[in-house]
Amino acid sequence: MTSHPDSSGPARIGPNSIIRMAEALLEQQGEARTAELFAAAGLEAYLTVPPSTMVEETEVIRLYQAVRAGIGLDAAARASWEAGLRTGDYLLANRIPRPAQRVLKVMPAGLAAKTLLQAIGKHAWTFAGSGRFSAEAGHPVRITIADCPTARGVTADRPLCGFYSATFERIFSTLVNSASKVTEIECSAAGAPACVFEIRWK
């Protein structure tokens, strides 16, 4: 399992979890509602000056809780999914080297998935915060995040981690197989021990 490499300080998460949520909310909810939601999370300053470095995971947790409380689970799910897709696009454009992308695209899907999972695992602390990441290659691929930030401290009757599902789906559908679909089959918010994401392309 992979977790934050420095356990002495507060766990941090990449700023896309906030920046892309802001973009999704602005598109779906409008400027005024987005401002209200960020204010409810105590993060209104990020709408003026977006974070340029990793943020404390507690900020991400507060924002996603505020969004769900403010606009309801269905609308929050749509915003989270869009934020995840945008995060995937950002990673493909800026974080995953183009030569590596070209190699993955010509590999058999199973081998590409295994290789990609190894790379994701090395960087899991940047998106899982203090959560614990593990993955199983094969088909379907299964990614597990225990203590997943977007599900922490909340109870629901459904999975809540669309941000991660959409990010994984964008990356896998681009680099492994265009038919890749991600489903969160277990969620700690719904009582499961951890959040489990299943990736299928056949």
- The string of pLDDT tens digits covering residues 175-188 is 999 999 999 999 99
| CATH of residue 34 | 3.90.1520.10
Q: What is the mean pLDDT of the chain?
A: 96
Q: Is residue 144 part of a domain?
A: yes
**pLDDT value for 9:** 81
Query: Residue 2 falls within a domain, yes or no?
Result: no
Query: Per the domain annotation, does 77 fall within a domain?
Result: yes
**Taking the CA of residue 63 as centre, how many other CA atoms within 13 Å lie in the half-sphere pointing to its CB?**
30
Radius of gyration of the chain (CA): 16
Q: Are 77 and 162 in contact (CB under 8 A)?
A: yes
The structural domain count of the chain equals 1
Is residue 74 included in any domain, yes or no?
A: yes
For residue 5, is pLDDT > 60? no
For residue 16, the enclosing domain spans 12-200
Q: What is the mean pLDDT of residues 147-153?
A: 97
| CA dihedral over 108, 106, 176, 111, signed as positive or negative | positive
Region 165-169 average pLDDT? 99
- Give tens-digit pLDDT for 40-62: 999 999 999 999 999 999 999 99
Type and span of the H or E element at 134: strand 132-136
Of 80, 46, 85, 97, nearest in space to 150 by CA: 80
- Whether residue 33 lies inside any domain: the answer is yes
User: What's the predicted TM-score (pTM) here?
Assistant: 0.95
Helices (H), the chain: 16-29, 31-40, 45-48, 57-94, 98-106, 109-122, 125-128, 162-175
